[in-house]
Amino acid sequence: MIDLSETRVKIDEIDSKIISLFNERMKLADDVANYKIATGKPVYDAVREKEKLLVIEGFGEDDFGKTALRELFTQIMSISRKYQYRKIADVSKTSSSVTSYSADNIGFFGGSGTYTERAMKDFFGNDTKAKSFDSFKKVCEAVGNGSIEYGVLPIENSTTGSISDIYDLLMEYEIHIIGEAIEPIDHALLGLPSANLVDITEVYSHPQPLLQCSNFLTKYPDWNTFAYGSTSKSALKVKNDGKINQAAIASKANAEFYGLKVLAENIANDTLNATRFIVIGKGGNYLENADKISISFEIPHKTGSLYSILSNFIYNNINMTNIESRPIPKRRWQYRFFVDFDGNLNDAGVINAITGLKAEADSFTLLGNYVGADKK
């Protein structure tokens, strides 16, 4: 029988040696960093790391040992890079010349009485005048070509998750996120003033509200649901068609605006249902008190790439709040990642993390640094 206490003593002795050697290795990493600062060489040397990992892997006694050694030294080299990034940190500090955002030339998705309009007014002020657009793409096109200065779009719902189209459009039109707003969603079923629930056979709304109210809709299996351009357009259709069997899922504000009757209220699956909206613009100026950052990056299509890239957040003690992936056009089974995290572009940890991300990713895009709606 093995004496467990003796074995643990031996393990502790080995761990002590590993720690000593690790500290010695990090001192050498400091020498490497100083050399790279002097010569201007990049921290990340993909060819050397690949060659070194192949050699190290060869010391494994079996398949498990080979994999374990590769994983261990991949992590060690990753830590070494983060230390070097901390010293080099080649990301310039951002000018924070903007103290607030205001404009008369604003666009938003949907129409009067929509949640997007409410988010726009919460961000820019209740007296703000703006142009409505009937698609996400048209809002982004208008910002991209300069016909409007800012646009407001929904990007994420607390019940149904992200609206993936928005992420693709951000990259297509090279626009920035300059702010966000979070709005509670109070979906209601709206019909003609003379209608009652028993009269309804058709329900219209944007695809998102239809999903967000699925539990309510399943109670009425004979109803037919139809995806429509927006909640406000759905309400307008019910009004214009004048058919007692039609209803729309929209806000109670739409009922008042279009002279409709609230047939049922608070019909969302989640009583805490809320949607996050982003404010987009063309420029790259950021508020001095910005505390949330959005980025996009692409990475090599190989084992461990995502793990390695995300370690830049871990070793710089950065809180990542969201990650999404979208297929890269014309590159089958390869993905572009979108990440939100806490921080300001002038924070030392953020500078270090972005330095590492830019060095290791195939491509990197800063989408914005803005004040998070949950911090206001």
Distance of alpha carbon 126 from alpha carbon 118, whole angstroms:
8
Cα 94 from Cα 354, distance rounded (Å): 13
Kindly list the structural domains of the chain, giving each domain's residue range(s) and its CATH number in brackets, ordered by start: 15-88 (1.20.59.10), 188-265 (3.40.190.10)
pLDDT number for residue 100? 61
Q: pLDDT band for 102, please (50, 70, 90 cuts).
A: low
Token digits of residue 230: 């927006």
| pLDDT band of 269, cuts 50, 70, 90 | very high
What is the distance between the alpha carbons of residues 211 and 173, in angstroms, rounded to a whole number?
A: 28
The mean pLDDT value for 120-145 works out to 91
Looking at residue 86, its pLDDT comes to 75
63-88 and 305-314 helices, crossing angle to 10°: 40
Q: Write out the two tokens for 139.
A: 């809002």
Contacts for 345-350 with beta carbons within 8 Å, 24 or more apart?
A: 345/91, 345/93, 345/94, 345/286, 345/290, 345/293, 345/369, 346/93, 346/94, 346/96, 348/89, 349/316, 349/317, 349/318, 350/293, 350/316, 350/318
Annotation marks residue 277 as catalytic = yes
In the set 74, 94, 160, 275, the catalytic residue is 275
The whole-number average pLDDT for the span 145-172 is 92
Q: Which of 35-49, 192-206, 253-267 has the least mean pLDDT?
A: 35-49
- CA 307, 311, 313: angle at the middle one, nearest 5? 130
Residue among 124, 136, 257, 277 flagged as catalytic: 277
- In this prediction, residues 132-144 reach a mean pLDDT of 94
- What pTM did the predictor assign? 0.77
